[in-house]
Structure 1
Amino acid sequence: MGYLRKHLLFVIVPLLMSVYFLGASMKMPHDAALLPQILAVLVIIFSVAMIFNAKKDAPAQDKETAENPPAKINVQHVVVFVAAIAVYIYLIPILGYFIATPLYMVVMYAYLKAIGLLKSIIISVCFSAFIYALFVWFLKLPIPVGFLEHFMGY
């Protein structure tokens, strides 16, 4: 498959999702809609830029790919990640975002053997704290807390 076609396939999904989210955000209150609209517009701009960049680079990349074939995709990793994302999405309403997200991140870091356990725990806790500070504290937007709802007074 050609370089340009691969990039087009990769760009279609985020582009369509951004257009959908942009339309859906129009139905939100103005204050809540601002961030999704900005992010959707940014993804649309970057997607279109990626298409132009891929079109510009396609001839050189097709020649390079013919000379040096790319590495094969590890299908097992893809299947594990898709399954893990499905389980993560399923667990968010049950466990809550602040338990499911660090758990997902630590498990995925461990699966990839990317970093040590202590670093993965620190990164996932810091990421969750940042998300809490941004969305709950600063933007005053609710995040699913699962069974912690009874303890947090929601």
Structure 2
Amino acid sequence: MDAFKRKELITGGFMLAAGIAYLLATMSLPRKSFIDAAFVPYVLAIFMCGLGVLQLVFGFRNAPAADAPADDKKGEVSEYGTVIKTLALIAAYIATLEPIGFPIVTAIYLYLQFIVLTPHGQKIGHLTYAITAIVSAIVIYLIFRQGFDLMLPSGVLNI
């Protein structure tokens, strides 16, 4: 079994195990009706289990082509850079969420994360990224504030 297939199977196994553990933990939540506090955890647990099973199935089926080059060290370095940039963005997001506010910080975070996740060699669509980030932040804020009646930090906007 090659390294690629082994990684896929290990990932699928961990995802399935985590999904089952989450499902078992969710079953201990009290149920009052079909849609209650335990509904979303059940949905998430089922999706996690489904993703684990799919990962295992595709891990058994797929293998890299024989003529594909072995692990490319340059690709690994860029992946580590992406992970480090993402972790830095998350840390900055958490640090600035309370004082600046959810809508502004979320829009900035999403915009910068879109740039970080843009593949090398592909043109960065600044306008598209900015519009998507702003609209997403506003929609998420309104869903939580108006739909779920949950307060998110509004920061300097005072809304």
- Structure 2 length normalisation: TM-score? 0.67
Aligned position for 1:2? 3
* Secondary structure of residue in 2 paired with 1:68: coil
Question: Which consecutive residues of structure 2, in runs of 5 or more, have no partner in the other structure?
Answer: none
Aligned position for 1:35? 40
Q: Structure 1 residues 47-56 or 13-22, which shifts more?
A: 13-22
Aligned position for 2:85? 80
Aligned position for 2:135? 126
Kindly indicate whether residue 104 of structure 2 is the aligned counterpart of residue 99 of structure 1.
yes
User: What is the number of residues matched between the two proteins?
Assistant: 145
Residue 95 of structure 1: how far off its partner (Å): 3.4
CA contact (8 A) 1:26 1:33 kept: no
Q: Residue deviations 1:110-146, cap 9 Å, x none?
A: 44475332221110122123323443333x1525315
Cα distance 1:130–1:146, how it changes in 2: closer, same or farther (>3 A)?
A: closer
Aligned position for 2:113? 108
Question: Which consecutive residues of structure 1, in runs of 5 or more, have no partner in the other structure?
Answer: none
Residue 103 of structure 1: how far off its partner (Å): 0.9
Q: Which has the higher helix share?
A: 1
User: 2:7 and 2:90 mapped to 1: Cα distance?
Assistant: 23
Cα distance 1:88–1:50, how it changes in 2: closer, same or farther (>3 A)?
A: same
Identity rate, percent? 21
* Secondary structure of residue in 1 paired with 2:124: coil
Kindly indicate whether residue 140 of structure 2 is the aligned counterpart of residue 135 of structure 1.
no
- Which of structure 1's runs of 4+ aligned residues deviate more than 6 A? none
